[in-house]
């Protein structure tokens, strides 16, 4: 199945290059991996991280696609279609 969300997703400027925006705001630096929202540029921590801010961002905004914000990784994930692209 082809996911239209991942095909049309843009590459916005990241809201932070320091780490998870929400974790930094509460003084936490204990995330596992970072994810970039391809709608607005929010940088959130992954579901293996204590606060799971990337998924919380999707649940609050319905922004469908994230990509890995880790060096050397470029995969995308669509929350709506639950597919990697």
pLDDT of residue 17: 94
Q: What is the DSSP string of the chain?
A: ---HHHHH---PPPS-SSS-HHHHHTT----S-EEEETTT--EEE-TTSSS-HHHHHHHHH---EEEE-STT---EEETTTTEE-
pLDDT of residue 1: 60
By the 8 A CB rule, do 66 and 40 touch? no
| Residue 8: pLDDT over 90 | no
pLDDT of residue 2: 75
Domains and their CATH numbers in the chain: 4-84 (3.30.40.10)
Contacts of 41 (CB under 8 A, 6+ apart): 12, 13, 14, 15
For residue range 14-69, list pLDDT tens digits in order.
999 999 999 999 999 999 999 999 999 999 999 999 999 999 999 999 999 999 99
């Amino acid at each position: 199945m082809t996911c239209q969300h991942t095909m049309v997703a843009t590459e916005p400027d990241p809201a932070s290059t320091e780490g998870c925006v929400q974790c930094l705001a509460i003084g936490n630096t204990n995330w596992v991996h970072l994810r970039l929202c391809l709608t607005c540029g929010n940088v959130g921590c992954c579901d293996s991280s204590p606060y799971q801010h990337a998924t919380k961002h999707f649940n609050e905004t319905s922004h469908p696609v994230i990509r890995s914000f880790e060096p050397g990784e470029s995969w995308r994930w669509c929350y709506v279609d639950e597919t990697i692209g």
